Amino acid sequence: MTTAKEALRVVGQAVIDKKSYLTDLDQAIGDGDHGINMARGFESVFKKIAVLDDNIDLTTLLKTVGMGLISSVGGAAGPLYGTAFLRASGVCAGKTEIDAVTAKAMLDAAIKGIQDRGKAKKGEKTMLDALIPASEAMDIAIKAGKTEVECLADAVQAAQKGVEYTKTIIATKGRASYLAERSIGHQDPGATSSTVMLEALYNYLE
């Protein structure tokens, strides 16, 4: 049986496992701390959720994750991912089952949260370039009547394509924007960590 807590653990662990990979990506076009920041964040989150009931509801869990990330990650990713989890938590309040439509609504709330904080849009070489395509793909999949897991699979694929796309564009938000043309050819660390999380969730649920 899958629990929200277990799913979160798998997602967090995937990010922690990619710590040096994400850091290397950030060294190329940022300040080389994205993996370190995210790993510190999820380790802190793991401590916070350890005291929660194993069958804790998703809303409480995501709120704990959001608050935990905000108070431990720092940098740009902390407020952005923290806000994303908090907003997603709001959407699933009261629900016991998460269907594809709810899942997409949660993702969209997360994206909205990231945009409220970070003022970025698609094509600026940020995590949004993974998340927005993921949401769009889910939308199409839902309309095509796919199962939840199939929808998620499509979202993951779109996010992965989004990461590839970030290699081709100039960053205009975040630290990488200081590099202008020099940022081309490098994939965005935040888009990558977003995709790592989606992939982990998919692998867990599938």
Partner 1 sequence: MKKIINNPDNVVEEMLNGMVVSQPQYLKRLEGFDVVVRADKKNSKVALVSGGGSGHEPSHGGFVGRGMLDAAVAGAVFTSPTPDQIYEAIKAVDTGKGVLLIIKNYSGDVMNFEMAAEMAAADGIEVEKVITNDDVAVENSTWTTGRRGIAGTVLVHKIAGAKAESGAALADVKKAAEKVIANERSMGMAIEPCTVPAAGKPSFTLADNEMEIGIGIHGEPGTHRESLKTADEIAQQLVDKILAENIYGTGDEVAVLVNGLGATPLMELYIVSAKVQAILKEKGLKMVKTYIGNYMTSLEMAGCSVTLLKLDNELKELLFAPADTPALVQF
Ligand X SMILES: Nc1ncnc2c1ncn2[C@@H]1O[C@H](COP(=O)(O)OP(=O)(O)O)[C@@H](O)[C@H]1O
**Which of 8, 33, 165, 176 is the binder for Mg ion (CB under 5 A)?**
33
Per-residue binding letters, 48-77, with ligand X (x by CB under 6 A): ---------------------------xxx
**Which of 12, 35, 75, 78 is the binder for Mg ion (CB under 5 A)?**
75
Per-residue binding letters, 129-168, with ligand X (x by CB under 6 A): ----------------------------------------
Q: At 167, is the secondary structure helix, strand, or coil?
A: coil
Rounded to whole angstroms, the Cα distance separating 179 from 31 reads: 11
Q: Which is nearer to partner 1, 68 or 162 (CB)?
A: 68
Q: Which is nearer to Mg ion, 33 or 188 (CB)?
A: 33
Report the b/e string of 174-203 with b at 16+ CB within 10 A. Answer: bbbbebeeebeebbbbbbbbbbbbbbbbbe
Among 107, 98, 114, residue whose Cα is nearest residue 205: 98
Contact (CB, 8 A) for 68 and 105: no
User: DSSP code of 97?
Assistant: S
200 binds, among Mg ion, ligand X, partner 1, none (CB under 5 to 8 A by kind): none
Contact (CB, 8 A) for 175 and 31: yes
Which residues contact Mg ion by CB under 5 A?
26, 30-31, 33-34, 75
Which residues contact ligand X by CB under 6 A?
26, 30-31, 33-34, 37, 75-77, 80, 114, 118-120, 126-128, 173-175, 188-191
